[in-house]
Structure 1
């Protein structure tokens, strides 16, 4: 792949890849970083991309990078959480219960429908209002409400009613 082919590929697909990752993460900076890394990998590896398969390959690479980053964040978060908890005033039973619940929560969150998870995390982790989420994702406020409702029902079922 020469520079002109790469530039054409970049110009055509960069925003699409960025928007795809933004939709999954809700983080514009992360989306830009992952989109850039996706194209860096294409350029560095000088991949021979078959005509008509560019979009699928780019989205696959971007998705893999996103998942890899997510896993790294979860490991770092888990380590930080465990460090803080170890120094806390929790009894051993409290610590075990907390760790079990946290593990169930993380498992339920990762198994949740992606559209519901995105809305849930934007609301709960990022503190965005439904209107802001709707605007960011280009969906109606009603769709945000419905996805949030489904996400909460799912978590309720997974964490409370499945004991």
Structure 2
């Protein structure tokens, strides 16, 4: 049934829209629902030889579509939690990026000073320890 291209094409044409509507209820987004529906049928196509009767293939596509939807929703939830965590971190310390940049610049400066000849290095360390106002 699904092993030949005509059989698979008929099955696809018969079930694509119902599976899409099923997925759309979970995702509430057209593009994502289409992607998940396509992924569902790709997985069916890859395993088409395992299904000798249409009922097994139909069960497979609905279970696969549901699982892909749940995976998508879990991913979205994790992504949302991460974004909220980032927002909270940035709200607590608005100069967070500035501080990281400053610390990295200091680290690079100290590395460069450490490569200088001993006498020059000593002078640079003294200048850094006792900065004069400009």
TM-score (norm 2): 0.61
| Equivalent position to 2:45, from 38, 43, 57 | 43
| Equivalent position to 1:6, from 5, 8, 24 | 8
Correspondence 1:121-160 to 2 at 5 A: none
- Cα RMSD for the two superposed structures: 1.7
- Pairs aligned (count): 90
- The superposition leaves residues 3-46 of structure 1 with CA deviations (integer Å, 9 ceiling, x where unpaired) of 12211110110001001011222212111111111001111233
User: 2:90 maps to what in 1?
Assistant: 87
- The superposition leaves residues 86-110 of structure 1 with CA deviations (integer Å, 9 ceiling, x where unpaired) of 12149xxxxxxxxxxxxxxxxxxxx
Correspondence 1:4-83 to 2 at 5 A: 4-51=6-53, 52-83=55-86
Cα distance change on mapping 1:86 and 1:47 into 2, 3 Å: farther
Structure 2: 5+ residue stretches without partners: 94-134
Aligned mates of 1:25, 1:68 — CA distance in 2 = 11
User: 1:95 maps to what in 2?
Assistant: none
Larger radius of gyration: 2
Aligned mates of 1:4, 1:69 — CA distance in 2 = 31
SS in 1 for 2:91: coil
